[in-house]
Amino acid sequence: MSRPMPSDATLKAALAASLPPIAPPDLRERILDQARTTTQQHRLSGLVAPLGDPRVSERRQALLLIAILLLVAALVATATAGALLEQRRQRLPIGPPGDPTALANSVGEAYARVPAMALAVNWTSHSTGIHVAGLTHHWADGTGRFRLELNDRDETIYITTGSHIWIRYRLDGPETWADNRGPYADHGGVGDLMLDFRRECGPGWSFGGTDLILGRPAFRLVCGAQAFWIDSESLLVLRLENGTPDPSHPGSLVGEVVALHFGPQSPDLFELPAGAAVDPRPPKAGAATPSVEGPSALP
Amino acid sequence: VTVVAANEAQKSSIDAALVRRAARGDIAAFDALVASRLDRCYRLAWAILENDADAADATQEAFVAAWRQLPRLRDPAAFDGWLNRIVANAARMSRRHRIRLREVRVRPAATPVDDLATTALAAGDREQRELEAVAERDAIGRAFDRLRPEERAILALHHVDERPVAEIARALGIPVGTAKWRLHAARRALQRSIEAEA
């Protein structure tokens, strides 16, 4: 037979008798002594505030919430990165961009209508123990005028305007501007801008894949020992690799666009400077219109 | 009733002011809070730990933690529940540590009920009732000792310190409904334990 539950009063008396009635006499002083030497922690703000809560469950909840938020942020970041990569991947062709020869023709046509832009090309040449590196700067105003600066010994400058190909050179003494004369005569207006690219290819063009140059998708067109990376949007040449097929004369040339900016350029870049000394001799016979695919002088 | 309610409201207001002052670093205000709650908190810790030294250490640790964290307490009116919870957690942590150390508490043998009953035969009716009451309290005390720490804590908070169920719920970090159910279960466990003692 079960006994009846004791009354609340009996329970209180019995339980109180089972528990110590008062704390040890020195406990209060111990607490205060330690409190006096303990620095209070002030409230955290925002989402991390519950982390300072002395209650374990509150801290756990806060940690869980923060972990969930971090997880969500990570998922969003991953999804965003994935979307960007997918977007980039979709910009890259899965296979060859049609006929490589047709692409080569399109590149040549693209240089006939170069937009206003500025770019820099880094050149590296290796040849039988000789290593040459240099930088060329190019400008186009979008109307068929170009400027090219070589960082060669003479700081040669080309300004191509309409039927003139102005060349500033100092090989024979003072700074002189000549119209299609001197050692750099017959230099094409956009020759260097094309990074030695020519439409014709004896062995025939082939497609070598797609790479990123300056973060831009570029089709790799291969012609024998030469390879050109063609910007998929502007069809400008962004990189050249020119190997020497003759093993007895090993060497290579690499030119790569290292800076590219589309947009209006200063008109002064495409004019002779005021007071420029001009070579009075007439231009070289036959040289008038800059050739889109004229011979290119390497830096 | 009105006077009692007014006194309670005044006490709550004073306590809230003490909590706010203590939260700003006023050690005297904190001392006042400690003084009025020390015994109760010590009993709560003792109910879980059943050991004077451990209960004192846990109580001290809890009060110091409360002092450190007081600036972060948003609602001064929630101070008691918050403090009880810190005490209960400190005692639980101490108990876990003690279990790892495999310390075993040995309660002194109680006076056998039969002996008390035999003695009662020789006494008068009044003395006999007193002796029966003592015997019953002793049985309840030993039954109480046999309960689990959580059961002892909830019974001590409710029956000894007469804390409201809502505050017990906050102290133990559980919903009010769960606190009510646990209190009921603890009383049932105590009753079974008393029957076993009998």
Report chain B residues whose CB lies below 8 A from the CB of A61.
none
Minimal-distance CA residue of chain B relative to A40: B68
Cite the beta strand spans of chain A per DSSP E.
117-127, 130-140, 146-150, 157-161, 164-169, 176-179, 206-213, 216-223, 226-231, 237-243, 251-262
Within 10 angstroms of residue A164's Cβ, the number of other Cβ atoms is 18
Smallest CA–CA distance, residue A71 to chain B, in Å, is 27
Nearest to B12 by CA among B85, B78, B84: B78
Residue scoring higher pLDDT (B91 or B108): B91
pLDDT band at A99 (very low <50, low <70, confident <90, very high): confident
In this predicted structure, what is the pLDDT of residue A245? 55
Token pair of A23, please? 């704390």
Contact between B46 and A20 using a beta-carbon 8 Å cutoff? yes
Q: Is A46 on the interface with B (CB under 8 A)?
A: no
Interface predicted TM-score (ipTM) of this complex, two decimals = 0.71
Residue A18's closest CA among B106, B50, B148, B117?
B50
Q: Across the interface, do B173 and A55 touch by the CB < 8 Å criterion? A: yes
pLDDT digits (tens, 9 = 90+) for B9-24: 777 778 888 999 999 9
Nearest to B159 among A12, A22, A53 (CB): A12
A15 interface with B at CB cutoff 8 Å = yes
- Structure-token pair, residue B160: 């000894």
The minimal CB distance from B141 to the residues A17, A38, A43 is found for: A17
Output the pLDDT for position A18.
Answer: 78
Which of B34, B74, B156 is nearest residue A28 as measured by Cβ atoms?
Answer: B34
**Interchain pair A27, B60: CB under 8 A:** yes
- Asked if A25 is an interface residue toward chain B (Cβ–Cβ < 8 A), one would say no
Least confident range of A11-20, B78-87, B129-138, B156-165: B129-138
| Residue A59 sits at the chain B interface (C-beta within 8 Å) | no
Taking residues B157-184, what's their average pLDDT? 83
What number is the average pLDDT over the span A242-263? 77
Cβ-Cβ contacts under 8 Å between A and B: the total is 134
Whether A90 and A232 have beta carbons less than 8 Å apart is answered as: no
Q: What is the mean pLDDT of residues A141-147?
A: 88
Nearest to A34 among B41, B60, B194 (CB): B60
The closest CB to that of B25, out of A12, A32, A40, belongs to: A40
Strand pairing category for A226-231 and A176-179: unpaired
Beta bridge partners of A239: A229, A256
A61 to chain B nearest CA, in Å?
A: 12
> What does the pLDDT read at residue A288?
40
Can you read off the two tokens belonging to residue A214? Answer: 């300056």
Tell me the C-alpha distance between B55 and B87, whole Å. Answer: 10
**Is A18 part of the contact surface with chain B (CB cutoff 8 Å)?**
yes
The pTM of the full predicted model, rounded to 2 decimals, is 0.44
What's the mean pLDDT in A110-133? 79
Q: Does A54 touch chain B (CB under 8 A)?
A: yes
Sheet holding A237-243, edge to edge: A176-179, A164-169, A157-161, A146-150, A130-140, A117-127, A251-262, A237-243, A226-231, A216-223, A206-213
Nearest residue, CB atoms, B52 vs list A12, A20, A57: A20
Q: Does residue B120 have a pLDDT over 60?
A: no
Cβ of residue A131 closer than 8 Å to a chain B Cβ:
no
Q: Which of B69, B136, B138 to mutate to test the interface with A (most CBs of A within 10 A)?
A: B69
Tell me if B68 and A38 make a contact (CB, 8 A cut-off): yes
CB contact under 8 A, B69 and A54: yes
B-chain residues within 8 Å CB-CB of A50? none
Mean pLDDT of A166-172: 71
Å between B86 CA and nearest CA of chain A: 7
Say which residue, A82 or A237, is predicted with more confidence.
A237
- Which chain A residue shows the shortest CA-CA distance from B135? A14
Position A7 scores a pLDDT of: 79
Residue B159, pLDDT > 90, answer no
Residues of chain B positioned with their CB less than 8 A from the CB of A51:
none
Q: What's the helix, strand, coil split of chain A in %, to 5?
A: 30, 30, 45
Residues of A whose CB is below 8 A from B34: 28, 31-32
